[in-house]
Amino acid sequence: MAGPVEFFFDFSSPYGFLASLRIDDIAARHGREAAWKPILLGAVFKVSGQQPLVEIPLKGEYARHDLARFARLWGTDLRFPPLFPFSSVAASRAFYWIAASDRALATRFARAAFSAAWREERDISRSDTVADIAAAVGADRDDALAALLDPAVKELLRVEVEAAIARGIFGSPFVVVDGEGFWGADRLWQVEAWLERGGW
Amino acid sequence: MAGPVEFFFDFSSPYGFLASLRIDDIAARHGREAAWKPILLGAVFKVSGQQPLVEIPLKGEYARHDLARFARLWGTDLRFPPLFPFSSVAASRAFYWIAASDRALATRFARAAFSAAWREERDISRSDTVADIAAAVGADRDDALAALLDPAVKELLRVEVEAAIARGIFGSPFVVVDGEGFWGADRLWQVEAWLERGGW
């Protein structure tokens, strides 16, 4: 099997959520696996000097309209969370803690966390909510709560975020395939084209 | 015939150039006409607080790589101009001067100006280059040179840029169809979907 389709995202990114709905199918259609990798856009924005999209004049209003329209096109619910932007640190730590022993379970957790944040209006910045989600997909709830405060787990996330920044990942979603980076849910058609043609 | 597909762009925008290669065909396939409307991103960025893409850390390097890759995918040459960013004021004034009497000719001029800037390494920030391009598509060279300094022509461009900003246009390319705005060359697939389905 060829290399994985690396899928970088921030749980607080609505375009990341949209891409998460398609990435596994896209990879699978071309005999690849999607490797999910949550990052923290806050840390990225410190390097690139960017602001959250929805806070930028003109662009922000566009983004809100566009997100609703994009979600309709793909036939999914998307509800803007009451609290936004929100911290995705707890969800991301939980992800890497689960992934350390079971990557498939971590991906299921990620899907559930995205859904909680972007469909169910749940506040995934909270440790207890994240622990509930982890438990719902099969992890131990108390272990999850403990993991969120574990220095080793914090370090796991920090290392992943640093590594992503060092590789030039600056947004969410950001897909890397065969060393080629594609930024944006609206670029998945180019990811597909790349996989189909084996590059160009 | 249904309303036009409004195509907003800055001559100094490489993604605007890429979109210019497809926009007329996309519109024509759905019985529409593309209405080309050059704007000045410099004026837009003053409102939205943005910087030119290629100057943003991480994003800038990505953009240069992405542009070359995007151009290859669409089978077109794209050469980054030696001078970048460059002023698109002269080309935009010439466009609206020509458009005041002949919109089709103005579109031909725009295509030639884009090609000069993004394929031929010509400096379209210069009045004489712009006048040469205008003459090559059939306008009068001396009249073009005079028009670039005409206060009425300056005002024409200023009004168009202000109107675009007032409508929330904040980037290049930016396509408006049936009142719906789509930002980016990588969103033309959604413009197509919109035209095909008559909205969603």
Residues in chain B: 200
Q: Which two tokens stand for residue A12?
A: 């607080």
- Contacts B70 to A, Cβ<8 Å: 190
pLDDT above 70: percentage of residues in chain A: 100
The answer, for A24 touching chain B at a CB cutoff of 8 Å, is no
Q: How sure is the predictor about B1, in pLDDT bands with cuts at 50, 70 and 90?
A: low
User: Which residues in chain A (37-56) have CB-CB distances under 8 A to chain B?
Assistant: 44, 47-50, 56
The answer, for B163 touching chain A at a CB cutoff of 8 Å, is no
Contact yes or no for A190 and B49 at CB 8 A: no
CA B42 to CA A182: how far, in whole Å? 26
Amino acid sitting at position B111: R
Question: pTM of this prediction?
Answer: 0.93
CA A53 to CA A70: how far, in whole Å? 16
- Ordered by where they begin, the domains of chain B are 5-197 (3.40.30.10)
Tens of pLDDT, residue by residue over A149-194, are 999 999 999 999 999 999 999 999 999 999 999 999 999 999 999 9
Specify whether the CB–CB gap between B48 and B77 falls below 8 A.
Answer: no
The three-state secondary structure class of B159 is helix
> Which uninterrupted H or E stretch holds A174?
strand A174-177
- B64 DSSP 8-state letter: H
For tokens 């394929």, name the residue. B119
Specify whether the CB–CB gap between B60 and B80 falls below 8 A.
Answer: no
- Contacts B50 to A, Cβ<8 Å: 56, 59
Q: How sure is the predictor about A95, in pLDDT bands with cuts at 50, 70 and 90?
A: very high
Shortest distance between the Cα of B73 and any Cα of chain A, in A, equals 7
- Contacts A193 to B, Cβ<8 Å: 73
Tens of pLDDT, residue by residue over B178-197, are 999 999 999 999 999 999 99
ipTM score:
0.90
Contact yes or no for B50 and A73 at CB 8 A: no
